[in-house]
Amino acid sequence: MTAKKDIRRLIRRRRRSLSLRERSRAAIRVSAVIGGMNEFRGARRIAIFAANDGEIDLDQTMKRYPAKNYYLPAVPPPGRRRMRFAPVGPQSSFRKNRYGILEPDVPPRFLLTAPELDLVLAPLVAFDRSGGRIGMGGGYYDATFAFLASRTCWRRPRLIGVAFSFQEVPYIEPDAWDIPLSAVATERGAVVIT
């Protein structure tokens, strides 16, 4: 089970097989884990994601910590890879992007660029303890946060993965363009990247 596409296929299948109750319980636990992380406590502008394909739903996190400013990724037009981030809240209206994932329906002037964020709660399919991440395969997160690879001392925003504990794998072979995670929040606790 070393090929990324094999890992992606197996873990996505397992994630989708979870019951609604299992997902709900994990979402509550993950929100508590996220709230206890220093990176979250010090952040003001936080990118989250709309749960898709069995991912952990971050609605519990937004409800539990309403004083934060939350943003959802806006997928760029075809041919582009860098996402921008739209504010989201209880009164937001949504539209589906070309992948069928909900995005806030806001004018472009309200979108933030990646460097304007303090923290990113990133979706993933698999992770390892070295900060490796396998996403859905589109490359949007790596392209959007590629600027972090050239920073040596001031690294903002921090990228924290959000996953079920079973999404951890022993090792992910990194590609040159991969941007590592700082930590991962699971229903069993925070995984600190070494």
Considering its fold, how many domains does the chain have in total?
1
Q: List, in sequence order, every residue forming a beta bridge with 47; answer none if it has no partner.
A: 71, 120
Residue 151: pLDDT band (50, 70, 90) is low
Q: Is the distance from CB of 165 to CB of 188 less than 8 angstroms?
A: yes
Q: Read off φ and ψ for residue 150, nearest 5 degrees.
A: -90, -5
**Range of the structural domain that residue 143 is part of:** 4-192
pLDDT tens-digit series, residues 103-127:
999 999 999 999 999 999 999 999 9
Pairing of strands 119-123, 94-96: unpaired
**Hey, what are 5's tokens?**
């596409």
Separation of alpha carbons 99 and 115, rounded Å: 25
**Hey, what are 11's tokens?**
């873990």
pLDDT tens-digit series, residues 126-136:
999 999 999 98
Q: Does 153 have pLDDT greater than 80?
A: no
Percent of the chain with pLDDT over 70: 96
Residue 1: pLDDT band (50, 70, 90) is very low
pLDDT tens-digit series, residues 16-49:
999 999 999 999 999 999 999 999 999 999 999 9
Q: What is the pTM of this model?
A: 0.93
Q: Does 61 have pLDDT greater than 60?
A: yes
Please give the average per-residue pLDDT across 91-105, as a whole number. 91
**CATH number of the domain encompassing residue 176:** 3.40.50.10420
Comparing CA positions, the residue from 98, 16, 19 lying closest to residue 51 is 16
* Mean of per-residue pLDDT scores for the chain: 93
